[in-house]
Chain A
Amino acid sequence: MSRLLTRPVDFARAAPAEEAPLDSGARPLSLIALALRRPVPPLVWWAWALSGAVVASLTTNVVLLTLIAAVMVATMLARRGTGPWARAVKAYLILAAVIVIIRVGLQMVLGSLRSGRVLFTLPEVHLPAWVQGIRLGGPVTLDGVALAFADAWRLAVMIICLGAANVLANPRGTLRAMPAVLHRVSTALAIAMAVAPQFIESAARIRRARRLRGGAGTGWRSVRGVLLPVVEDAVDRSISLAAGMEARGYGAHSSAGVTTPGTRVWATVSASTTRSGAQSGRSMTPVGRREEPITGNRGGDRSERMVPLVLVAGLLATIIGAFGLLGLPAARSLMWAVPLLVVGLAACFAALVVAGHQTHVTRYRPERIGPRDVVILVSALAVVGLAVALSRLIGGVMDPAVTPVTWPPFNVGFLVVAGLLAVPLLVTRAPDEGGVR
Chain B
Amino acid sequence: MTSSAASRAIPLSTHTVVMLVIAAVAGLFAFLWPFFFNPDAVLVGDRSGATTAPLVCGLVLFLVTGLLLVQVTGGDLDVKALAMLGVLTAAGAVIRPLGAGAAGLETVFFLLILAGRAFGPGFGFALGSLALLASAFITAGFGPWLPYQMIAAGFVGLGAGLLPARRPNERGEIVLLGVYGAAVSFVFGFLMDLAFWPFLYGSGNQAGFDPTLPWWENLHTFAVVTAVTSLGWNIGRAVTTVVLIALLGPGLLRIFRRAARRARWSEK
Contacts and interface: CB of A to CB of B under 8 A. Distances in A.
- The short answer to whether A and B are in direct contact, CB under 8 Å, is yes
Interface of A: 57-58, 60, 84-86, 88, 91, 99, 102-103, 106-107, 109-113, 131-132, 134-135, 144, 147-148, 151-152, 154-155, 158-159, 162-163, 165-167, 171, 174-175, 181-182, 184-185, 187-196, 199-200, 220-221, 223-224, 227-228, 230-232, 234-235, 237-239, 241-242, 245-246, 250-251, 275-276, 279, 282-283, 308-309, 311-312, 315-316, 318-319, 322-323, 325-330, 333-334, 337-338, 345, 348, 352, 355, 399
Contact of B86 (A166, A191, A231): A191
Given A88-B140, A238-B84, A184 B37 contact: no
Contacts of B243: 220
A99 B198 CA distance: 12
Contacts of B175: none
Contact of B85 (A134, A152, A188): A188
Q: Report the 7 A-B pairs with minimum CB-CB distance, sorted nearest first.
A: A191-B86, A308-B15, A88-B140, A242-B83, A85-B140, A166-B140, A195-B90
Interface in B14-51: 15-16, 18-19, 22-23, 26, 29, 33, 36-38, 40-43, 45-46, 49, 51
Contacts of B84: 235, 238, 242
B263 interface: yes
Contact of B130 (A147, A163, A185, A231): A185
Contacts of B33: 323, 326
Given A191-B82, A316-B22, A352-B67, 13 more contacts: A57-B52, A85-B138, A109-B205, A110-B207, A148-B205, A187-B86, A191-B89, A232-B255, A245-B83, A311-B71, A323-B33, A326-B43, A348-B67
Interface stretch (B56-64, B157-165, B166-174, B179-187): B56-64
Contact of B206 (A57, A135, A174, A228): A135
Contacts of A163: 140
The winner among A155, A196, A227, A241 for most chain B CB atoms within 10 A is A196
B224 A131 contact: yes
Nearest to B252: A231
A144 B38 contact: no
23 contacts: A57-B45, A88-B139, A106-B207, A107-B204, A132-B220, A132-B224, A148-B202, A163-B140, A171-B138, A181-B70, A182-B66, A187-B82, A192-B90, A192-B93, A193-B138, A195-B90, A196-B93, A196-B94, A227-B248, A235-B258, A235-B259, A311-B70, A399-B46
A328 B39 CA distance: 9
B63 A192 contact: no
Contacts of A88: 139-141
A316 B67 CA distance: 12
A250 B40 CA distance: 51
Contact of B41 (A181, A228, A330): A330
A308 B42 contact: no
B87 A311 contact: no
Given A184-B77, A189-B130, A327-B36, A312 B18 contact: yes
A309 B15 contact: yes
Contacts of B78: 276, 279
Nearest to B27: A319
Given A309-B15, A355-B74, A175 B86 contact: no
Nearest to B21: A312
Nearest to B224: A131
Range of interface residues on B (Cβ < 8 Å): 35 or more
B75 interface: yes
B13 to A, nearest CB: 8
A253 to B, nearest CB: 13
Contacts of A337: 42
B233 interface: no
Contacts of A181: 70
Contacts, number: 287
Interface in B187-210: 199-202, 204-208
Chain B facing A: main interface SS: helix
Nearest to A87: B140
B52 to A, nearest CB: 6
Contacts of B262: 239
A233 to B, nearest CB: 10
A155 B143 CA distance: 12
A80 to B, nearest CB: 10
A231 B91 contact: yes
B82 A184 contact: yes
Contact of B142 (A165, A194, A195): A165
The winner among B33, B64, B79 for most chain A CB atoms within 10 A is B79
B53 interface: yes
Given A308-B15, A315-B64, A325 B42 contact: yes
Nearest to B210: A112
A102 B198 CA distance: 12
A321 B45 CA distance: 18
A193 B19 CA distance: 28
Contacts of B83: 191, 238-239, 241-242, 245
A106 B201 contact: yes
Contact of A184 (B55, B74, B247): B74
Contacts of B40: 329-330
Nearest to A98: B200
B22 A190 contact: no
A315 B19 contact: yes
Given A106-B202, A228-B255, A283 B267 contact: yes
Nearest to B265: A283
A190 B83 CA distance: 10
B43 to A, nearest CB: 5
B101 interface: no
B239 interface: no
A231 B253 CA distance: 11
Nearest to A345: B63
B87 A315 contact: no
A395 B83 CA distance: 54
Contacts of B252: 228, 231
B73 interface: yes
A163 B49 CA distance: 22
B69 interface: yes
Interface in B221-255: 221, 224, 243-244, 247-248, 251-252, 255
A183 B206 CA distance: 47
